[in-house]
Amino acid sequence: MNTPILSCKNISKSFGATKAVSELSFDLYQGDILSILGPSGCGKTTLLRIIAGLEEPTAGNITLLNNTIYNGNINIPPNKRNVGMIFQDYALFSHLNVKDNISFGISQLKSKDQKEIVNNCLEITRLKGQETKYPHQLSGGQQQRVALARTLATSPSLILMDEPFSNLDTQLRLELRNQVYDILRQTNTTTIFVTHDRDEAFVLSDKIGVMLDGEILQIDSPDKVYFWPNNKDVGLITGNCSFIKGRIQNGTAITSIGNLPLREEYKYNKNDEIEVLVRPNDLLMTVAQDGDCEVIKKEFRGDETLFWVKIPSGEIIPCKHKKYTTLFEGLKVNLNADQHVKFNAFK
Amino acid sequence: MLNIKFLRGMPLGLLIPCLLIALVAISPVIHLTIRSLGADESTWLWFLRWRTLEIVWRSMILATSVTIVCISISLPISFLTNKTDIKFKQLWKISAILPLVIPSYIGAYLFVSVLGPKGILYQILNTLFNINSIPNLYGFTGSLIIISLLSYPYILLTLNATINSTDNSEEESARILGLGNYNIFRKVTLPQLMPSILSGGLLVSLYTLSDFGAVSLLRYKTLTWAIFNQYSGSIDRNATALLALSLCMLAIIFVYFESTFRTKRKQYRASPGVAKRHKVHKLGIWQIPAIIFCGSIVFLSLIMPVSMLIFWIIRGLLHSETIPGMLEASISSLSLGFMTAILVIVLATPISYLSVRYPRFISMFIEKICYAGFSLPSIAISIALVFIGSRIGSPLYQSMALLVIACAILYMPTGIGPIKSSIELLSPRPEESSRTLGKGKFTTIFKITIPMLRSGIFMGAVIVFLVTMKELPAVLILSPLDFKTLSTMVWSYSTEAFFAEAAAPALLLILLSSLPLTLVLIKSSVYK
């Protein structure tokens, strides 16, 4: 666990005047699954392509298993890096059948060894019986698993996955997500995968790197990036939330809906102007005729109902309420902090 | 992402061969320019005569008139067969494209064989009514009729493609906004079709400018005729080069003219999804005139020429004239086509790959140069290559290799077309996948890129193969001694008025040339 498998230092990449990735650093250890979470165009795919060697960074250092694969002078080509990559559209070779797709990367081995590896990969990915089919004869999920099998066959030190589930419908996505997770765990494969779907990132990964405008804002475990975001942007990317303006007094935040207790209150000085991050589950909503807050919008979402509530200062915040699905727009309510919650605030 | 930066990321192993190919493609023009600049005073005086201006004027006026006639033939046909309920729609659609397979020199030969001084019409009139003279339809009128009837499909093809791919919703919006039929046509439909009318029109004008066979047979003295005469009758090569260069200039003027008049707006479907079906206009009482119009065009441009060829063959057989042996000429035609196709594939694949994968200034420039053969008349390119060949001497001069190179320069754009579009459809991801799976650049090219492009490459090869067989001027000028193809056979028989003998090779040539068109039509209907 002590030496990282992959270590990226100060990686930057610009396309002309636009910076796709800037000054990015992180380490990854054996068997870790890291997901890079961020909105479209934040540079996450570029980062993967840089690690794979398909894109040359403008600056930085990458080491894989203690070997430098990129610095200003060294640039190991993608075929010599032993890094596997699975593309969003799978990029299967349409002129080769499943078996030949899988054995493509191991053609230098003896045919007996090839056979064994292919069989093993077919087994892991549950593709037995599909060997002689061509990519266009397979379903989306099967194609995805061929792409995975093809990559696993070369036993890469690291697998990169670019939005691997985005081409599948919801039902299949959930199913395949679990299968892929099991395979990666079973083979103890170190993986980086890129996604804009936070649920996917939460479920799959050991660590999440939240990325925005070419920078990784925070790398932490899924619960940390959700509950303890480093800044407002991380909060917004990792879940529904909104912000309430307030002022610090005695280690708590004074806001228009009352005093909110803060995590790490020692960080703030008296009278600091701050914004408190509020998640839908953080506040308790009670119906009161003389309430000073008002439900202005109700969003029925099946498993839950989200209410958008206007607080006295005019800010609008999301709230969940399990019981009162009959609440309606225009209703007066009171909001109180949940006793167990300590809030995050940002200057 | 268009990243115009010099060389950035472009592999030299690809760029250098492509530069060399481009150099070969442009060498004829460079050579003609150098020769023309080297012409002495007397040659220039000879060139700058009133007569030269007349010849240039004829070329220009013919190209312009043919283009106008072709537009006025193809616009109604395209509209009728795509947007109305005309009867036998599919029949008109296909048969109106087919005249494309008849080379203009065959059309002209048939025209001469009917309307010429010793032609059928004269013979009939002479026997029946004892008429001794018929109006002379040679020259401008004949050339205009023949070339227009055989080249209007160039515009029709581009028009049909546009009509089928543009969304009907713009017309529907115009209708909802209260416009009537006439105004919709003028303000919506016509602007939509304008780019394809212009680009089809450009094709037709370039085709007419470079036409040699028809104008020579019909004795209309255009630049191509002058170049050929100057070449075969005079030893002053600088004079020939001057004429050839001025023909190239004329072609470039037409290209420039089209590009300035083309509206800059891009054609694309605004709404996502499949294009909606077109509103079908009911023809009503106009049904019969519409059928007569389409029918007469198809009759004149397709049925008449083909049936006349058959007539000549039967008549020849009845008069117990032997059909000339075509085996040798067929083999020459086929082998010329085959070698050119192979060479074009080898040259066009790297050029197309470079321009699609590395869209930089220099790759665009290389591609444009390789398109030169498309706009430059084949007679000018052949003349230039003859000069280059004789300069280098053996083994190049009068060799098959030089002829194949000439045809490759001429038909490279024809090959680049389908290859380029199949590369455009090929995502770079499989290649990148192959790299991350441990394969080097060359292994990837041979195991992934080329196999995945095979249908586009095959398509390009077949089309080049079959259009090369029709080529006339290049073969006349560049062929080795005693080299005979089907096209030169038709040519030599018809220039000597052996109409019956010319018929069989002409028919064979038409049959062979219709194969690529059938292939294209089948392919486009499969992928619809």
Which of B320, B339, B367 marks a domain boundary?
Answer: B320
Give the integer Cα–Cα distance in Å for A60 and A11: 4
In a domain, B183, yes or no: yes
B462 inside domain: yes
pLDDT digits 0-9 by tens, A257-270 = 888 888 887 888 88
Of B9, B440, B447, Cβ closest to residue A79:
B440
pLDDT at B2 over 50: no
| Percent of residues, chain B, with pLDDT higher than 70 | 92
Enter the pTM of the model: 0.77
Q: Which residues of B touch A89 (CB under 8 A)?
A: 427, 429
Q: Where residue B75 sits, what CATH number does that domain have?
A: 1.10.3720.10
Residue of A nearest to B451 (CA): A95
The answer as to whether B267 is a domain residue is no
Nearest CA in chain B to A55: B9
Residue A92 to residue B430, Cβ atoms within 8 A: yes
The radius of gyration of chain A from alpha carbons, rounded to an integer in Å, stands at 24
ipTM of the assembly? Answer: 0.80
Of B12, B24, B42, the residue nearest B401 (C-alpha): B24
Question: Which residues numbered 412-431 in B keep a CB inside 8 Å of some CB on A?
Answer: 427, 429-430
Q: Are B153 and B297 found together in one domain?
A: yes
Whether residues B437 and A79 touch (CB distance < 8 A) is answered with yes
Q: Which residue of A has its CA nearest to B440?
A: A79
**B435 interface with A at CB cutoff 8 Å:** yes
Q: Residue B264 pLDDT > 80, yes or no?
A: no
Among B110, B127, B117, B499, which Cα is nearest to B316's?
B499
pLDDT tens readout for residues A46-76: 999 999 998 889 999 999 998 999 988 888 8
One DSSP character per residue, A270-309 reads TT-EEEEEE-TTSEEEEE-TT-SEEEEEEEE-SS-EEEEE
B256 and B117 co-located in one domain: yes
Long-range contacts (CB closer than 8 Å, 24 or more residues apart) made by B352-357: B352/B416, B352/B419, B352/B420, B352/B423, B353/B14, B353/B423, B353/B449, B354/B10, B354/B14, B354/B15, B354/B18, B355/B420, B356/B420, B356/B423, B356/B424, B357/B423, B357/B428
Spell out which residues of chain A touch residue B438, defining contact as CB-CB under 8 Å. Answer: 79-80, 82, 105, 154
Between residues B118 and A101, which one has the greater pLDDT? A101
Half-sphere exposure for B122 (CA within 13 Å, toward CB): 15
Higher-scoring residue by pLDDT: B274, A194: A194
B422 and B301 in a common domain: no
How far does A94 lie from chain B, in Å, by closest CA?
A: 7
Whether B3 is in a domain gets the answer: no
Average pLDDT, chain A: 88
Backbone phi and psi for residue A194, each to the nearest 5 degrees, phi listed first: -105, 135
Please report the pLDDT score of residue B263 as a whole number: 52
- Distance from C-alpha of B163 to C-alpha of B167, rounded to nearest angstrom: 8
Q: How much is the pLDDT for B524?
A: 58
Chains A and B: how many Cβ contacts under 8 Å?
68
| Cα separation, B467 vs B474, whole angstroms | 13
Interface check B454 vs A, CB under 8 A:
yes
The number of domains in chain B is 2
Contact B437 A52 (CB under 8 A): no
Residue B269 pLDDT level (bands cut at 50, 70, 90): very low
Residue A255 · residue A277 · CB < 8 Å = no
Average pLDDT over residues A332-342: 84
Domain contains B374: yes
Contact by Cβ (8 Å): A341, A309? no
Pairwise CB contact (< 8 Å): A85 & B432: yes
Asked whether residue B434 falls in the same domain as residue B498, the answer is: yes
Question: Is there a domain that residue B275 lies in?
Answer: no
- CA proximity to B477, closest of B408, B398, B404: B398
Confidence of residue B465 (pLDDT cuts 50, 70, 90): confident
Percent of chain B, pLDDT > 90?
Answer: 19
**Residue B13 C-alpha, separation from nearest chain A C-alpha, in angstroms:** 16
Residue among A56, A81, A85 whose CB faces B433 most closely: A85
> Helix and strand tally (H, E) in chain A?
8, 20
> Residue B300 belongs to what domain range?
39-262+284-320
Give B312: exposed, middle or buried? Use CB within 10 Å, 0-12, 13-18, 19+: buried
Decide if pLDDT at A177 tops 80. yes
- Whether a cis peptide bond, with omega within 30° of 0, leads into B76 is no
Average pLDDT over residues A142-169: 89
Contact across the interface for A89 and B436, Cβ inside 8 Å: no
> How far are the Cα atoms of B262, B301, B344, B363 from residue B417, in angstroms, in the given order?
21, 27, 11, 16
Give the residue-averaged pLDDT of B24-49: 84
